[in-house]
Amino acid sequence: MQAEPNQPPPAAWQPFTARGVAAFAQARLGRLLTVQFLFALLVAASVAWFLHHAWVPVLDDTVNRLPDQSEIRAGVLDWRAASPVLLAENRFLAVAVDLDHTGQVRSPAHLCLELGRHDLRVYSLLGYLPVSYPTRLWISLNRPAALPWWGAWMPVLLALSAALTILALFLTWAVLATLYTLPVWLVGFYANRQLGLRASWRLAGAALMPGALFMALMILLHGLGAVDPLRLILALAAHLLIGWVYLWMSPLRVPHIPGADLSHSNPFATPGTT
């Protein structure tokens, strides 16, 4: 049996196929980080678009409907207008004021922010989360103060959300690639592939990219109303499964170890075959 001829490693440029992911095992770390950054940009752009498309219009209306004199001081909301009242809503987000949380204003929106006298309640499919107002901050919750602040900071907040998304993705991918390194190395070891621990880490990092692209698409479809919140949560789990499929398939596309006895890598192989 002849060993595979020595050939230059294929260029690592696309992580859409098992062979394309396998190419990153022999590529430089900088190539992997560049591709990951491009994918992170796609996900961050989808997140920023969703926030601008789904949340910003509601927050715009909320700011315009604030009273002329209201504030949060010493952890207490001094609301000088009617309550309870629904300030603004769409299918994604709603903002209401109910000082005593009486439940008289409820919205079918996916996420509802309800301002009470002493706390903010965030309602979602998972229930609600109470968030107490800061006791050491004074917040001008009135239209004359909020309008210029929101107009100046809204683009900055969108940019920050995109930057935080990129940072969170890189940290998550680094942790997951580290967790997956040993399983990838074991697959390569028993299949007689040229996979060390560093190469396995790079391959694992590249294998996460198809799932990230799938998640970016799901966020866009959610913003367009084609995917409801429950299916979005299921998509979050499915994007991990996509990565696992690539983690299993891609090590088998890495070149064999030169001179390895390939007949032992396949228990069903007949003598003289691989």
* Domain residue ranges of the chain, discontinuous segments joined by +: 18-50+155-256, 67-141
pLDDT at 258: 82
- Does residue 7 register a pLDDT over 90? no
Residue 25 to residue 195: CA distance in whole angstroms: 7
Mean pLDDT of 106-113: 93
Tokens 């866009």 sit on residue: 220
Q: What is the 3-state secondary structure (H, E, C) of 43-108?
A: HHHHHHHHHHHHHHHHHHHHHHCCCCCCEEECCEEECCCCCCEEEEECCCEEEEECCCCCCCCCCC
pLDDT at 141: 92
pLDDT at 273: 47
| Span 132-187, pLDDT tens digits | 999 988 999 999 999 999 999 999 999 999 999 999 999 999 999 999 999 999 99
Kindly report the average pLDDT of the chain as a whole number. 91
- Does residue 271 register a pLDDT over 80? no
pLDDT at 125: 87
* Percent with pLDDT over 90 in the chain: 84
Which pTM value belongs to this model?
0.87
Residue 6 to residue 13: CA distance in whole angstroms: 21
pLDDT at 126: 85
Mean pLDDT of 84-95: 96
Assign 266 a pLDDT band (cuts: 50, 70, 90).
low
- Does residue 267 register a pLDDT over 50? no
What torsion do the CA atoms of 17, 22, 26, 29 make, to the nearest 10 degrees? 70
Residue 194 to residue 255: CA distance in whole angstroms: 6
- Does residue 48 register a pLDDT over 50? yes
Assign 213 a pLDDT band (cuts: 50, 70, 90).
very high
Residue 8: Cβ-neighbour burial (10 angstroms; 0-12, 13-18, 19+) = exposed
Mean pLDDT of 41-47: 97
pLDDT at 12: 79
Mean pLDDT of 44-54: 97
Residue 259 to residue 117: CA distance in whole angstroms: 74
